[in-house]
């Protein structure tokens, strides 16, 4: 594909610049400038609410040193990872399962359009609302959840004051809000695959599960990478739900790194400089992880994908002439 | 695509109208920042009843509950310009920051607005602690004053008092629950024997403890745990272990439910100033209205209060001064505080409150049907002597949050006493950069 | 989407398998709908009975009573709805259109800085939003763009995440042969993009549009700090202000406000989702 482009590259190159110009400009103005500003703050003494002036520190990395020995910050990274994993694994498994069921060509589930619409519903609601709703559901000593416990003769339980209960609930909210999204993204990925691929597989006598594992899944490589990376990034930036649900409590059990950075920068003593340093640490961490995932997935499927694209293009051409 | 594009264009047109249209009064707009609708309502009332005033109000209300008010206010103040607040409100938990601390330089001295502050304070006999808190140390000038006095009382259910002790007389009940915490726990035991809880949750005893302590959280730039505040760990644990309360958290559903008497067990009382009766218990009490009374608490304290500050850069000094003067210093029957104390500001039969002006209090009547006809000023006026700003710090809102969390861990048994204190110190240092004194 | 095949054959799976599938789907559907149902029911109940039992499946009759409380609050659903609509619709249109355009630049043309830009996009996709916000607000204040809805709309032009998705989707589904044949027919590059590439990208655009819309609609922090004038408040700000009276929380009214803020969203969502599913089913190549 890329080879075929190279022939024409010289005459059309300017359109590449032209078409990406709006993006680049908007990004530079609305993101890059504020981002660089944030990075610089990491090396300065900027803290305190009414402070507008700042100087570079004599020891430039002092904020980074402080933040790397900050127990609460390190703990918040662990918490973030724990909550993300507890949410992502079941979310991905369920989304894949739904994708397999919903894209099976012969044995369709009736009303799957309606199911898809319903599964995506939780994602549409403002995170703040969902957080409040769930913290009400799990209130103590009176709440729907505790009413259920009482029905079974159990003592009422202080969910919001229990580290693991809180984490599980936060992870569940994330799962609940996002499994529909992931499923829709994966399904749309499958539906974007050239149908002739499936038809030829069926003619060859492949069973539905063979089609799913041998044709569907490999073709979804790009969409899977996308889902994994965005979920990872979203997970490591998790903010709204823990903030609204319990504001990081109990004892920082739901204090994610983003919430910690927010707490440090926007409340109390306004430690912009340390929060900026913490952000940069998170940035590095996220970058390393996603680059790792990106390369891992690419190497694994690179060869397969090239074959795939060639075949698809052949078939697409055939399909067009019919 | 054309359809989409035309839709976008249409919306952009609507948008351009929306961003330029704004209703202005004939003289201009006064920007107001507040954390409840209380001050906006009263200022709007002033504008409505004084047609010659000529300004309109542009109000921004952001709740303190999510910790969003301070950041938003700070942003607006530091940014300045036409949208900067002309008048802004601050609560006891963070007034120090705006009157004496990091943000004090943004406040206008009342004198500079054209108010003869010293004379007005004397005429109105304003509670000294509100003046102390609202005075900027840098130049010794008053930059903020309130309209309430927030000395606290113990607010209890008459029917429960009758059931347990055979009396609902405030003097006798005061002698049952206090003075001090030993008597309080004796009373708690007696209440428990009849199946009642003495308070709703640990938040209820926190406010009396917090505001009766000798020193605040920060001493000489370092974190300091006052012995009275450290004792909260043990008192709270005792309440929980003995089942003296419903183990609720303040400002949550279950807490409100206890005010209506529909919690797990009936709750005897709450600690609070007059505003807690008006705005919280009174509004959430369900069928229990009239069953309440107040008495002297086992420990003197104050809680909350709203201060009004003006932006030093306001271009509408006279108008701002007029409003602030009416709210905080006008001790006549036309002033806010008279209407506020007597509950007739928005017409008769409104809620009554303790106000900052002693002059106004002397000519007001605090009888409340809610309290079975008891005159609440009898208890609240003496209680105001406990109000002072000595143990406030500008980061109280944040530090209190961490402390309450740590104490809950201890009472729930997930941390030992030492671990809870250690967690508290670490967390304050990590989040605020304030190191613990050793 | 399954209309083409009306015959449902249970090939390869037994009755039990189908039963499990339906059971799982129905349970998930209930799980998804339940909280909203409770929210809507609670909107019709008074605060007192909500405090007594937070869950009820039977609507009560306090709807108007809850609605009357709005009069005392700074809650104006029409104004909030209008502002949220303006911001979300414009942001969504900008995000989807310009992201597709940028993705097209990345996929269809070979230019020197192409890989650099893509690498850059991959890199910046990961920057936590909260970090940038410090600098962003101060910048907006400097420009005097507070209380200007454009401050919340224009940044939507640059949505690295959407560009990434569009590129990933475009790579396998856009055949350069189609573009080449358009060129032979003498179409300009911009015209080719609008008339040929955009239709192919419809499924991806529909999906991304709804994601962008929802994200924008639900944003709370930025609008709350940028917009200080009541007439500019968005729906989430207004909803959050209902909770704002710390002395008392009118749960019934809060639920009603939440419901009112959600019902327009639901209406739009159900309308758009049909288009999405149809668009997704169409596929790119067969167009």
At B313-340, the pLDDT tens digits run 988 889 999 999 999 998 888 888 988 8
**Lowest-pLDDT choice from A217-231, B5-19, C3-17:** B5-19
| More reliable by pLDDT, B153 or B19 | B153
What does the DSSP 8-state code read for residue B357? Answer: B
Provide the 3-class DSSP secondary structure of residue B260. coil
Domain boundaries, chain A: 71-321
Per CB-CB distance under 8 Å, the chain C contacts of B89 are none
- Under an 8 A CB cutoff, do C247 and B283 touch? yes
Nearest to B254 among A52, A141, A266 (CB): A141
pLDDT digits (tens, 9 = 90+) for C161-210: 888 878 878 888 788 888 888 888 888 888 889 988 898 888 788 778 87
Domain boundaries, given as residue ranges, for chain B:
27-149+304-362, 164-301+369-432
Q: What is the pLDDT of residues C259-275, one digit of tens each?
A: 887 777 777 777 776 66
* Domain range B164-301+369-432, its CATH number among 3.40.50.10490, 3.40.190.10, 3.90.1300.10, 3.40.640.10: 3.40.190.10
CB B178 within 8 A of CB B298: yes
Structure confidence by residue, pLDDT tens digits, A175-201: 998 888 888 778 877 777 777 888 888
**Contact with chain B for residue A274, Cβ under 8 A:** yes
| Residues shown for chain C | 287
List chain B residues with CB under 8 Å of C72: 37
User: Mapped to the 3 state alphabet, what secondary structure does A65-125 carry?
Assistant: HHHHCCHHHHHHHHHHHHHHHHHHHHHHHHHHHHHHHHHCCCCCCCCHHHHHHHHHHHHHC
In angstroms, the CA B347 to CA B342 distance is 10
User: In the numeric block, which tokens belong to residue B296?
Assistant: 């002297």
Architecture of the domain whose range is C73-282: Orthogonal Bundle (1.10)
A88 or C171, higher pLDDT = A88
Tell how far CA B162 is from the center of its chain.
Answer: 31
B66 contacts A244? CB cut-off 8 A: yes
**pLDDT (tens digit, 9 = 90+) per residue, B408-435?**
999 988 899 999 999 999 999 888 888 8
Q: For the residues B288-292, what does the mean pLDDT come to?
A: 89
Give the Cα separation of A183 and A68 in Å (integer): 37
pLDDT value at residue B9: 44
Q: For residue A32, which of C120, C148, C92, C90 has the smallest C-alpha distance?
A: C120
- Closest CB to B78: pick one of A50, A250, A260: A50
- Cβ atoms of C228 and C147 within 8 Å: the answer is yes
Q: A294 with A229: CB under 8 angstroms?
A: yes
A188 neighbourhood in chain C, CB within 8 Å? 203-204, 207, 280
* Residue whose tokens read 């499990």: C20
Domain B27-149+304-362 class? alpha beta
Is A209 part of the contact surface with chain B (CB cutoff 8 Å)?
no
CB contact under 8 A, A115 and C175: no
Contact A19 C286 (CB under 8 A): no
Contact C225 B72 (CB under 8 A): yes
* Residue B2 predicted with pLDDT over 70: no
With CA atoms as reference, report the closest residue to B253 among A253, A127, C252: C252
| B164-301+369-432 matches B27-149+304-362 in CATH topology | yes
DSSP state of C231: G
What CATH architecture applies to the domain A71-321? Orthogonal Bundle (1.10)
Return the pLDDT at B62. 76
A116-120, A225-229, A274-278, B43-47: least confidently modelled range? A225-229
Q: How buried is residue C14: exposed, middle or buried, by Cβ count under 10 Å (0-12/13-18/19+)?
A: exposed
Is 0.85 exceeded by the ipTM?
no
Mean pLDDT in residue range C98-120: 88
For residues B337-345, give the mean pLDDT: 86
Contacts of C80 in chain B (CB under 8 A): none
User: Residue B60 phi/psi, 5° resolution?
Assistant: -120, 120
Minimum-distance CB partner of B430 among A52, A72, A161 = A72
Q: What's the confidence (pLDDT) of residue A49?
A: 65
- A-chain residues near C35 (CB < 8 A): 122, 130, 133-134, 137
Within 8-27 of B, beta carbons closer than 8 Å to C belong to: 8, 11-12, 14-15, 18-19, 21-23
Dist CA C86 CA C96 (whole Å): 16
pTM strictly above 0.90 = no
Cis? peptide before A274, omega within 30° of 0 = no
Q: Which chains touch A (3 or more CB pairs under 8 A)?
A: B, C
Helix (H) or strand (E) holding B29: strand B28-34
| Average pLDDT taken over every residue of chain B | 85
pLDDT at A90 over 80: yes
Q: How large is the average pLDDT for residues C101-125? A: 84
> How many angstroms away from the CA of C266 is the closest CA of chain B?
20
Least confident interval from A294-298, B182-186, B336-340: A294-298
Of the listed ranges A107-111, C30-34, C210-214, C252-256, the least confidently predicted one is: A107-111
- Answer whether residue B276 shows pLDDT above 60: yes
Cα separation, C174 vs C161, whole angstroms: 19
Q: DSSP code of B437?
A: P
Inter-chain contact A194–C285, Cβ cutoff 8 Å? yes
Whether A107 sits inside 8 A of C134 (CB atoms) is no
Does the pLDDT of residue C100 top 90, yes or no?
yes
Give the DSSP per-residue string, A240-309.
HHHHHHHTT-STTTT--HHHHHHHHHHSTT--HHHHHHHHHHHHHHHHHHHHHHHHHHHHHHHHHHHHHH
Using an 8 Å CB-CB cutoff, list chain C residues near B36: 244-247
Contact by Cβ (8 Å): B246, B121: no
For residue B250, the Cα-to-chain-centroid distance in whole angstroms is 13
How many residues are present in chain B? 438
Query: Pick the residue with more confidence: B293 or C125?
Result: B293
Contact between A173 and A291 (Cβ < 8 Å): no
Q: Phi and psi dihedrals of A152, rounded to 5? A: -95, 15
Measured CA to CA in angstroms, residue C237 lies from A225, A280, C219, C233 at distances of 35, 30, 9, 6
Looking at residue B65, what is its pLDDT? Answer: 64
Cβ–Cβ contact A73 with B under 8 A? yes
Q: What is the CA radius of gyration of chain C?
A: 24
Cβ <8 Å between B105 and A50: yes
Angle subtended by helix axes A257-266 and C129-143, to nearest 10: 30
Q: Domain ranges in chain C?
A: 15-70, 73-282
Contact C224 B62 (CB under 8 A): yes
**Measured between alpha carbons, how far is B408 from B296 in angstroms, rounded to an integer?**
27
pLDDT at B22 over 60: no
Q: Is A252 on the interface with B (CB under 8 A)?
A: yes
Q: To which H or E segment does residue B92 belong?
A: none
DSSP states along B313-350? T-S-HHHHHHHHHHHHT--STTSHHHHHHHT-BTBTT-
Q: Tell me the per-residue pLDDT of B355-398, one tens digit each, with 9 for 90 and over.
A: 888 888 888 888 888 888 888 888 888 888 777 778 888 888 88
The least confident of A156-160, B8-12, B248-252, C230-234 is B8-12
Cα C72 from Cα C66, distance rounded (Å): 11
Strand pairing report for B55-61 and B218-219: unpaired
CA A314-A318-A320 angle, to 5 degrees, is: 120
pLDDT value for B156: 94
Q: Can you tell me the distance from the alpha carbon of B56 to that of C285, in angstroms, rounded to the nearest whole number? A: 60
Q: Do C229 and B11 touch (CB under 8 A)?
A: no
Percent of chain B with pLDDT over 70: 92
Which residue from A minimizes the CA distance to C202? A192
Using the Cβ of B260 and the Cβ atoms of chain C, whether some distance falls under 8 Å is answered with yes
Residue A64 scores a pLDDT above 90: no
Cβ neighbours for C6, distance < 8 A, ≥ 6 positions apart: none
Model confidence at A107, in pLDDT bands (50, 70, 90)?
A: low
Chain A residue numbers with beta carbons less than 8 Å from the beta carbon of C108 are 5, 12, 15-16
List, for residues B124-138, the tens digit of each pLDDT value: 888 888 898 899 988
Both tokens of C84, joined, read: 């949220």
pLDDT tens string B187-232: 999 999 999 999 999 989 998 898 888 888 988 889 999 999 999 9
Q: Is C177 helix (H, G, I), strand (E, B) or coil?
A: helix
When pLDDT is cut at 50, 70 and 90, the band that residue B183 belongs to is very high
Q: Closest approach of chain C CAs to the CA of B28, in angstroms?
A: 14
Range with the lowest mean pLDDT among A153-162, A213-222, B149-158, B329-338? Answer: A213-222
What lies within 8 Å, CB to CB, of B351 at 6+ separation is: B277, B278, B279, B282, B343
Q: Which residues of A touch B246 (CB under 8 A)?
A: 141
User: CB count, 10 Å around CB of A152?
Assistant: 6
CB contact under 8 A, A50 and B264: no
The pLDDT value given to residue A298? 57
């Amino acid at each position: 594909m890329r080879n075929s482009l190279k022939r024409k590259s010289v005459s059309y190159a300017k359109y590449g610049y032209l078409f990406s110009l709006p993006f680049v400009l908007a990004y530079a103005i609305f993101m890059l400038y504020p981002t660089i500003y944030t990075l610089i703050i990491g090396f300065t003494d900027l803290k305190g609410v009414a402070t507008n002036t700042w100087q570079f520190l004599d020891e430039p990395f002092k904020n980074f040193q402080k933040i790397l020995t900050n127990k609460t910050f390190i703990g918040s990274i662990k918490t973030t990872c724990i909550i993300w994993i507890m949410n992502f694994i079941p979310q991905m498994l369920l989304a894949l399962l739904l994708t397999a069921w919903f894209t099976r060509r012969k044995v369709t589930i009736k009303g799957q359009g309606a199911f898809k619409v319903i599964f995506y519903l939780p994602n549409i609601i403002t995170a703040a609302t969902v957080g409040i709703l769930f913290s009400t559901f799990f209130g103590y000593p009176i709440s729907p959840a505790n009413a259920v416990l009482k029905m079974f003769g159990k003592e009422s339980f202080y969910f919001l004051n229990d580290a693991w209960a809180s984490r599980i609930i936060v992870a569940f909210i994330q799962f609940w809000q996002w499994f529909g999204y992931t499923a829709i993204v994966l399904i749309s990925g499958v539906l974007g695959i050239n149908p002739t691929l499936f038809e030829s597989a069926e003619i060859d006598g492949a069973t539905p599960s063979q089609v799913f594992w041998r044709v569907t899944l490999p073709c979804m490589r790009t969409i899977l990478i996308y889902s994994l990376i965005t979920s990872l990034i979203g997970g490591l930036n998790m903010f709204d739900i823990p903030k609204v649900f319990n504001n990081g409590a109990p004892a920082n059990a739901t204090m994610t790194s983003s919430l910690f950075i927010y707490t440090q920068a926007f409340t109390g003593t306004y430690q912009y400089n340390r929060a900026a340093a913490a952000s940069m640490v998170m940035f590095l961490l996220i970058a390393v992880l996603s680059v790792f995932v990106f390369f891992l997935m690419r190497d694994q499927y690179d060869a397969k994908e090239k074959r795939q694209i060639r075949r698809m293009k052949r078939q697409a051409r055939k399909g067009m002439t019919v | 695509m054309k359809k989409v594009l035309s839709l976008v264009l249409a919306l952009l047109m609507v948008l351009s109208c929306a961003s330029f249209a704004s209703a202005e009064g004939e003289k201009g707009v006064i920007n107001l920042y507040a954390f409840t609708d209380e001050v906006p309502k009263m200022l709007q009332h002033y504008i409505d009843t004084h047609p010659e005033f000529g300004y309109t109000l542009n109000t921004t209300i952001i709740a303190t509950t999510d910790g969003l008010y301070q950041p938003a206010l700070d942003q607006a103040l530091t940014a300045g310009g036409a949208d900067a607040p002309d008048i802004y409100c601050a609560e006891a938990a963070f007034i120090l920051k705006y009157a004496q601390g990091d943000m004090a330089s943004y406040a206008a001295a009342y004198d500079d607005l054209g108010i003869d502050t010293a004379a007005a304070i004397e005429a109105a006999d304003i509670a000294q602690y509100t003046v102390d808190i609202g005075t900027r140390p840098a130049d010794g000038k008053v930059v903020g004053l309130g309209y309430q006095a927030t000395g606290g009382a113990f607010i209890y259910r008459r029917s429960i008092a009758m059931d347990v002790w055979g009396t609902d007389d405030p003097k006798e009940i005061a002698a049952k629950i206090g003075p001090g915490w030993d008597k309080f726990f004796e009373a708690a035991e007696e209440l428990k024997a009849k199946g009642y809880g003495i308070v709703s949750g640990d938040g209820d005893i926190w406010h009396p403890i917090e505001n009766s302590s000798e020193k605040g959280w920060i001493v000489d730039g370092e974190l300091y745990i006052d012995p009275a505040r450290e004792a909260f760990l043990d008192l709270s644990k005792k309440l929980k272990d003995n089942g003296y309360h419903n183990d609720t958290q303040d400002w949550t559903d279950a807490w409100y439910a206890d005010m209506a008497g529909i919690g797990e067990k009936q709750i005897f009382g709450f600690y609070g100033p007059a505003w807690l009766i008006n705005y919280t218990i009174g509004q959430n009490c369900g069928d229990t209205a009239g069953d309440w009374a107040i008495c002297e608490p086992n420990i003197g304290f104050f809680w909350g209060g709203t201060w009004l500050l003006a932006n030093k850069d306001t271009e509408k000094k006279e108008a701002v001064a007029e409003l602030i003067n009416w709210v905080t210093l006008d001790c006549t029957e036309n002033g806010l505080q008279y209407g506020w104390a007597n509950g007739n500001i928005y017409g008769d039969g409104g809620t009554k409150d303790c106000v900052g002006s002693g002059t106004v209090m002397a000519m007001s009547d605090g009888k409340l049907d809610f309290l079975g006809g008891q005159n609440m000023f009898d208890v609240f006026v003496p209680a105001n002597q406990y109000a002072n700003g000595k143990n406030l710090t500008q980061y109280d809102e944040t530090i209190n949050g961490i402390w309450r969390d740590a104490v809950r861990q201890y009472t729930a048994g997930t941390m030992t006493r030492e671990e809870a204190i250690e967690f508290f110190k670490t967390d304050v240092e990590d989040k605020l950069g304030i190191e613990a004194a050793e | 989407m399954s209309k083409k095949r009306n015959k449902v054959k249970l090939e390869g799976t037994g009755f039990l398998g189908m039963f499990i599938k339906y059971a799982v789907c129905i349970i998930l559907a209930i799980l998804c709908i339940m909280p909203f149902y409770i929210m809507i029911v609670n909107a019709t109940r008074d605060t007192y009975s909500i405090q007594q039992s937070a869950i009820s499946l039977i609507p009560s009759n306090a709807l108007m009573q809850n609605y009357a409380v709005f009069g005392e609050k700074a809650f104006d659903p029409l104004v909030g709805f209008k502002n949220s609509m303006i911001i979300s619709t414009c942001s969504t249109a900008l995000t989807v259109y310009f992201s597709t355009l940028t993705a097209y630049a990345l996929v269809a043309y070979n230019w020197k800085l192409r890989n650099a830009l893509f690498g850059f996009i991959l890199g910046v996709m990961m920057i936590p939003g909260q970090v940038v916000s410090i600098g962003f607000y101060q910048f907006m204040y400097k420009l005097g763009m507070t209380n200007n809805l454009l401050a919340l709309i224009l940044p939507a032009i640059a949505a690295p995440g959407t560009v990434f998705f569009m590129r990933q989707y475009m790579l396998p589904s856009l055949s350069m042969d189609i573009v080449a044949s358009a060129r032979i027919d003498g179409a300009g590059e911009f015209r080719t993009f609008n008339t040929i590439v955009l239709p192919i990208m419809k499924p991806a655009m529909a999906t991304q549009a709804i994601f962008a819309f929802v994200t924008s609609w639900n944003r709370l922090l930025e609008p709350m700090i940028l917009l200080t004038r009541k007439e500019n408040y968005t729906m989430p700000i207004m909803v959050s202000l209902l909770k704002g009276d710390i002395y008392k929380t009118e749960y019934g009214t809060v639920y009603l406000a939440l419901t009112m803020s959600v019902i327009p969203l639901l209406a739009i969502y159900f309308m758009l989702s049909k288009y999405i599913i149809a668009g997704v089913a169409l596929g790119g190549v067969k167009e």
